[in-house]
């Protein structure tokens, strides 16, 4: 829900009962900071999920906040042919 009259709904897609930082809710600011391509990737993530048959996997975590990132790739003939990511937190 907009915080100020005439303000568009926020892009962070949090539930309506969760408060966002005002800067994130100002869509004109978001559009001035990020290109349409970056915003499109935020709204429509690509290559997310687990990768069956991965030849390389790495997982990193932030012990302070508990975020976890897992990257997986399948390599053939020395080239990455498929990659996926999965995040939590």
Q: pLDDT digits over 43-86, tens only?
A: 888 899 999 999 999 999 999 988 999 999 999 999 999 999 99
| pTM higher than the cut 0.75 | no
pLDDT on residue 14: 53
Q: How far apart are alpha carbons 87 and 73 in whole angstroms?
A: 15
Q: How far is CA 68 from CA 16, 17, 23, 87, in A?
A: 25, 25, 25, 6
Percent of the chain with pLDDT over 70: 65
pLDDT at residue 4, as a whole number: 45
Q: Which two tokens stand for residue 40?
A: 């499109």
pLDDT of the residue at 35: 83
* Average pLDDT of every residue of the chain: 77
């Amino acid at each position: 829900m907009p915080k100020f009259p005439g303000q568009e709904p926020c892009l962070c897609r949090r539930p309506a009962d969760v408060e966002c930082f005002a800067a994130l809710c100002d869509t004109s600011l978001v559009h001035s900071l990020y290109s349409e391509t970056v915003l499109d990737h935020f709204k429509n993530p690509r290559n997310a999920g687990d990768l069956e048959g991965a030849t390389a996997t790495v997982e990193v975590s932030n012990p302070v906040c508990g975020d976890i990132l897992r990257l997986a790739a399948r390599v053939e003939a020395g080239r990455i042919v498929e990659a996926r990511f999965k995040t939590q937190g």
